[in-house]
Structure 1
Amino acid sequence: MSEGEHKLYDERGQFMQAVKDGREIRDADWTTCRVVLTTDRVVLIGDEKRSVTIDALEQVNDRFDVNQAAAVEGSYTALKTEGTVFLVTTPDQGAFETALYKASLNNGILLVQHPAVEGGVIQDVEWTKAKVKISEEAIRLAVADGQKVTIDRNDIGDVDTDERTIDGQDRTVYEVEHTEDDRSVETHLTGEPHHTAVMGALLEEGVERHRANLDLDGVEKQVIMALHTGVSPFDIPEFVDRDVERVEEIFDRLIEYDVIEVERERTEVALTPEGRQVAGETIGDG
């Protein structure tokens, strides 16, 4: 390893080269290998050694099913560089991916707007540099203006992307909805291409942890929207014009689906990330 480079992950696994020189390899198959991740690169050691430089990553996809052998694999990480895609699977895919996020982002410098949106209201804040630190639990940002911003990886309600020109440079911006002091906020993040390639995968992984796969009726969505806009749980029956017993049944169902959670008393509830995601989708549908 080069000076300053150190190992973050070392485990037996498999890889498949799905794209070489820009061409998909339809007959590619999995090869057993040793997967070594350092602060600089991913090294795949099998019949020969293959290496992917972290700073060369253009995209980190969760799926790139080039053929049936790839499609039937339950979990892998797709590493895309110019003209090349490697699929990598390990016994603990989550641990490997978190190590990859750390390798790419830890101590990197991002541009941050925080809070860009607070309580649904756009805030007039400037882009500011921030140093990023990734852990199993959170994305932590030390902002140049002194702010300490923490985005809980279990509390990412939704992520949108936008293309903007910032300081004369075209950039991909991630708009991340999460909570701060029990209020909904958006933090906007961008950076160099090799940072945003991995940041996108990290944020989408957070969304997928909580993506609601629900079949909610109109009244249940009204309850979610009422909570999202600040209506007290005790006022919900009158707000949605339903009796208390019906609203209690709705609360039970939404708690079961992990859309709301009990805070103090039985009917004192608040939206979870999944619930905020449903609320955002309902607003969009409207």
Structure 2
Amino acid sequence: MSEKVIADFVARFSLGSFDDPEPVRGRIVLSPKRLVLAMADDKQTVPLSAIFDVTVGHVPGEMEEFFQDTISVAYEDDGTKRVAVIEAGSEEVGRFKTILFKAILNGTRAKIKHPARIGGRVTDESFETAKLRIKPGVVRFGGSGGTTEVHLANVTYFQREEREVGSVVAIRHSHQGQTVTSEFGIETTRKLNLLGRYLRLEYSELAKSVEDVSASEEELEALVAIYSGAGSGDLAGMLGFDSSRVTMLLNDLHDKGLVDEGEKGLSLTAQGQLLVSDRIETVNT
């Protein structure tokens, strides 16, 4: 492979033959143009333009008994739909999933309307041309009007809809303390479907990570204040607590993985943002 390699690891995989689904061991090599699954005496090359779906954890029924942590890549090969199932450790699967989606989607031409709605009010914004970039937990659109970022931890709802520009994804999310809806379309239906898959996978992982996290009313108030820009020195006055109580509160939130204290000060983790999004959505409905 002459082009740049962006992922290269050894794993077990099956190339989607239901007649012989038992996996083999080989190398998984990814470039910006193609995915190569190399065995000892053969290889399968999959152009990224042929990939139409990517799933994590779901394995075709005929292969279930052979795999555990997996990523499945559905693609077309000479008019035939095939599925390559790759098994690796859960962290490796997670990293490869993000790299693969970035390779397929980054730089894609898009049209975005932001915000299309503020609460329930329709705005007069129009669709603008932009380019899509993704990173873990974030979808970013850059265009002449600036950059719009959607943090998936702030998302409360998304679905596919039809607009004058064609099929779009409408995402309702919290933005600067408000509930807004952004709409965006992608240059091809295949890539729009893949972006929808990426959103579902990333959002489900975030939601799962906070399923067992409980937060008191005081903790939720503190999270909302931090989301609104409050630093640790502001919380006592905003919440009506003394400084020692705020310190205990922040320690508890940190232990639960909901806040971070970095070089830029106090901030919410993705899990903390998801809890705040749920809170804002409840207040605004």
Q: Could you say whether these structures have the same fold, taking a TM-score greater than 0.5 normalized by the shorter chain as the test?
A: yes
Among candidates 17, 20, 30, match of residue 23 of structure 2:
30
Q: Structure 2 stretches of 5 or more lacking a match?
A: none
1:190 aligns with 2:185: yes
Supply the distance in 2 between the matched residues of 1:112 and 1:253 (Cα, whole angstroms).
39
The residue that corresponds to 1:56 in the other structure is 50
- 1:1-286 alignment runs, 5 A limit: 7-17=5-15, 25=18, 28-46=21-39, 48-65=42-59, 66=61, 67-70=64-67, 72-73=68-69, 76-81=70-75, 83-89=81-87, 92-116=92-116, 124-133=124-133, 140-143=140-143, 145-149=144-148, 156-159=152-155, 160-167=157-164, 169-171=166-168, 173=169, 175=171, 177=173, 188-191=183-186, 192-203=188-199, 207=203, 208=205, 211-212=209-210, 213-225=212-224, 227-228=226-227, 233-238=235-240, 245-262=244-261, 269-284=266-281
Distance of aligned partners of 1:261 and 1:119 in 2 relative to their CA distance in 1, 3 Å threshold: farther
Q: How many residues of Structure 1 are paired with residues of Structure 2 in the alignment?
A: 265
CA shift at 1:64, angstroms? Answer: 0.7
Query: Does the 8 A contact of 1:12 with 1:33 survive in 2?
Result: yes
CA shift at 1:45, angstroms? Answer: 2.4
1:134-176 Cα deviation digits (max 9, x unpaired): 5689755331x3423456xxx54244321211225334x1527
Supply the distance in 1 between the matched residues of 2:216 and 2:46 (Cα, whole angstroms).
48
Give the TM-score normalised by structure 2: 0.69
Query: Does the 8 A contact of 2:28 with 2:36 survive in 1?
Result: yes
User: 3-state DSSP class of the match of 1:215?
Assistant: coil
Q: Structure 1 stretches of 5 or more lacking a match?
A: none
1:180-203 Cα deviation digits (max 9, x unpaired): 8x9997654331232234334544
Query: Does the 8 A contact of 1:178 with 1:273 survive in 2?
Result: no
Supply the distance in 2 between the matched residues of 1:168 and 1:119 (Cα, whole angstroms).
23
User: 3-state DSSP class of the match of 1:58?
Assistant: strand
1:235-261 Cα deviation digits (max 9, x unpaired): 3443xxx76654442222112223233
Distance of aligned partners of 1:256 and 1:174 in 2 relative to their CA distance in 1, 3 Å threshold: farther
The Cα RMSD (Å) is 4.3
Distance of aligned partners of 1:200 and 1:168 in 2 relative to their CA distance in 1, 3 Å threshold: closer
Identical-pair percentage: 20
CA shift at 1:124, angstroms? Answer: 3.9
Supply the distance in 2 between the matched residues of 1:139 and 1:233 (Cα, whole angstroms).
30
Supply the distance in 1 between the matched residues of 2:9 and 2:31 (Cα, whole angstroms).
12
Query: Does the 8 A contact of 2:167 with 2:185 survive in 1?
Result: no
Supply the distance in 2 between the matched residues of 1:226 and 1:277 (Cα, whole angstroms).
14
Query: Does the 8 A contact of 1:116 with 1:122 survive in 2?
Result: yes
Supply the distance in 2 between the matched residues of 1:174 and 1:51 (Cα, whole angstroms).
34
User: 3-state DSSP class of the match of 2:25?
Assistant: strand
Supply the distance in 1 between the matched residues of 2:213 and 2:134 (Cα, whole angstroms).
30
Query: Does the 8 A contact of 2:10 with 2:27 survive in 1?
Result: yes
Supply the distance in 1 between the matched residues of 2:181 and 2:262 (Cα, whole angstroms).
23
Query: Does the 8 A contact of 2:118 with 2:178 survive in 1?
Result: yes
Supply the distance in 1 between the matched residues of 2:229 and 2:133 (Cα, whole angstroms).
33
Distance of aligned partners of 1:170 and 1:117 in 2 relative to their CA distance in 1, 3 Å threshold: closer
Matched letter for residue 109 of structure 1: R
Query: Does the 8 A contact of 1:16 with 1:31 survive in 2?
Result: yes
